[in-house]
Structure 1
Amino acid sequence: MDGYIEIVDFELGGEHYALDIHLVREIVEMKPITEIPRTPPYIKGIMNLRGEITTILSLNELLSVPEKMDGDRKIIVLVPETSQGSNVGMIVDDVHSVMHVPESDIDLSREGYGDEVTDYLRGIIKIRREGGGEEDELTSLILWLDMKRLLENFFADAART
């Protein structure tokens, strides 16, 4: 691998996650959400986003990650092609940055995590701080989500209910 990928780095439950930038239509501040009765807990409701009805999902609920109770949360709105033509936004605790990551810093091995994890995880991104020495210092890990696969499972579950 010798190329780069472009990701959005965001936070859930104190941990860093990423998704491909080309899946993101926009990032918006939290807005009022209209709850829909008798929906699964990961469907927070709908909102009017510039005249379009957009379904809002809790990524915390989908991934079983505790929600952050303080601070301003964000909504990552996906391009409709990612969500089977639907307008979908995901609540996240915070959005940090857009990053260019060398493919050599991505571990695509998903072995040893179990089938449930491999259903939504594309890989693990190693973030390094340049130290000027032979090896840069590993500073953090980011879980790179497979949003298409995660949403395919969501839509399949929704069709069964």
Structure 2
Amino acid sequence: MQVVVFKVNEEQFAVETAKVQSINDMMEITKVPKSPDYIKGLINLRGNIISLLDINLLLDIEKGEGSQENIIILNLGDESVGVTVDQVDEVLEIDEKQIEKIETDRNKTYIKGVINFNDRIITLIDISKLIER
């Protein structure tokens, strides 16, 4: 299984590459009045209008000092959404056995487990469950 590893406020997370459509640099965001807080706005990616979500709010993580430089475009069924992240680190090939299931509270069902990889802990998230909440 391949995963894309990204950083949000010094924490490392991963999503399966099968869900990732593309990784882009930050671009102009059009704000949407009266939208929920977790929607940062809309972006125009090669003629496609895509909702941009604030992953800090979705994951309940404080914003870091630096600016978010990357947008990960994700495929969720027949829809694409973008999430802003501090930085995209790498693509890793992991074995399913490296994913440790963890007990989480009911509000964190989007956490598939943690990957203990070369002295780092990376949280593997199920992006579709994260957005469904």
Name the TM-score class by shorter chain.
over 0.9
State the match for 1:114 in structure 2: 105
User: Are 1:123 and 2:119 matched, yes or no?
Assistant: no
SS at match of 1:35: coil
Closer/same/farther in 2, CA of residues 150 and 72 from structure 1, 3 Å limit: closer
CA deviation after TM superposition for structure 1 residue 47, in Å:
1.0
Q: Based on CA coordinates, which of the two structures has the bigger radius of gyration? A: 1
Count of aligned pairs: 133
Q: Which has the higher strand share?
A: 2
Q: Unaligned 5+ residue runs, structure 1?
A: 129-138, 154-161
Does the Cα contact within 8 Å between 1:46 and 1:54 map onto a contact in 2? yes
Q: Which has the higher helix share?
A: 1
State the match for 2:97 in structure 1: 104
Deviation readout 1:56-102 (Å, 9 max, x if unpaired): 001111111112232551000012xx1x4223111011100000012
TM-score by length of 1: 0.78
CA deviation after TM superposition for structure 1 residue 148, in Å:
1.7
Deviation readout 1:18-70 (Å, 9 max, x if unpaired): 00001000000000100001111110000111000010001111111112232
SS at match of 2:56: helix
User: Are 1:87 and 2:80 matched, yes or no?
Assistant: yes
**Displaced runs of 4+ in structure 1, greater than 3 A?**
none
State the match for 1:69 in structure 2: 65
Q: Unaligned 5+ residue runs, structure 2?
A: none
> Residues of 1 paired with 2:54 and 2:69: CA distance?
11
TM-score by length of 2: 0.93
CA RMSD of superposed structures (Å): 1.3
